Each structure stands twice: as structure tokens, then as C-alpha cells.
Amino acid sequence: MKTIISEKFLRVIKNKKKLEKVLNVQISNRGKEITIEGEPAEEHVALQVLDALSFGFPFSTAISIKEEDKVLEVVNIKEHTNRKDFASIRARIIGKEGKALRTLSNLTGCDLELRNNQVGIIGESTLMKHAKDALISLIRGAKHGNVYTFLERTPIASDEDLGLKEKPKKKAKKAE
């Protein structure tokens, strides 16, 4: 049994039945305190999904943590800069009309959400490092174009072959 305190507990309560069905856990609340009961592995995934909902991610993105084996990671802006004007750093991350955040999301294949002085990232664990590195570069003052170029040129290692996948069968050559 795990307990969390959620500022956006109404989003959780509104979707309680769907969450219980998809996550295979029991959810109960008392005010802003939300309790999760289930198997330990399912509790862990449910906790990440509820954290994502509390952070401000849309329901479909938050639930993708369970359905598509994604993870949630939160980057705190304060940990990566000594500057005190966090409003300008947040503006750099968002970009003009949200363009920088959208571009980062498209190039990394991760979903990003900004809240106060934190940025939430939901994505596959193999893609997470690239998204986090690009975000930290922007926080530290790198030019947007340089960050985008880095993301475009850096190969993303997806699905490493551990020898468990079936190899495609070779086509037999026709004798003429």
C-alpha cells in the first residue's frame, strides 16, 4: 500500500474507475491523500501514472506509462543553473508560442510538460537520456539551434538486440 498527496486529486478521482481497471490496483482517497493498493510492481507503475497526472500530463499520456512501458522523470531547473531569473529559463524551454517545447518533444520522441521550476518527461528509457541532455543544455543557456542539431545528429539506440528476437528468414534464391 502506497500513499501520495496530490494537488490535482480531482483529475485522479474523476478517472478513478478507468485507472483501477487499467492499472489493476485499488485507489482510495481522503482529501488530497490518495492511497494505492495492489501488487508491488503494479503499485509502482500506478504511482508513476498518478504522479504524471498530478504533474499535469493529459490522461492518455500518463496512462501510456503502463501501456507502452514508458517512464516518468522530473528535471528540476534549480539543480542545473545558478541563475535566479527562472522566468526567463522557463521562457527559453517553452519558446515562442510553445514551439521549443514541441520541437524538443518531436525530436526526442518524449512527452514534455513544464510546471513551476520542473519539467516532466515521459518516454521510453532509451530515449530519456537524449531528452534530458537536451533539456539541461537549454537550461544552461545553449542555443536552441545547437540543441536541435545535436538531437538530429545523435543516433538514438532503440531496442537493442539481446538475441531474443527471431531473426528474419532469408529468402531462397530461385534457380534459373
Helices (H), ranges, 15-158? 16-23, 40-55, 59-67, 86-94, 99-108, 125-139, 144-153
Question: 167 or 47: whose pLDDT is higher?
Answer: 47
Please indicate, yes or no, whether residues 12 and 40 belong to a single structural domain of this protein: yes
**Domain presence at residue 94:** yes
CATH number where 144 lies: 3.30.1370.10
Please indicate, yes or no, whether residues 122 and 82 belong to a single structural domain of this protein: yes
What is the number of domains present in the chain?
2
* Residue 164 banded pLDDT, cuts 50, 70, 90: low
Domain boundary among the residues 41, 67, 93 is at: 67
Q: Are 3 and 34 in contact (CB under 8 A)?
A: yes
Question: Grid cell 539541461 — which residue?
Answer: 136
How many whole angstroms separate alpha carbon 169 and alpha carbon 4? Answer: 50
**Domain presence at residue 98:** yes
Please indicate, yes or no, whether residues 89 and 140 belong to a single structural domain of this protein: yes
Please indicate, yes or no, whether residues 84 and 147 belong to a single structural domain of this protein: yes
How many whole angstroms separate alpha carbon 133 and alpha carbon 118? Answer: 15
| For the chain, percent of residues with pLDDT exceeding 70 | 88
pLDDT of residue 148: 93
pLDDT for 57-66, tens place per residue? 999 999 999 8
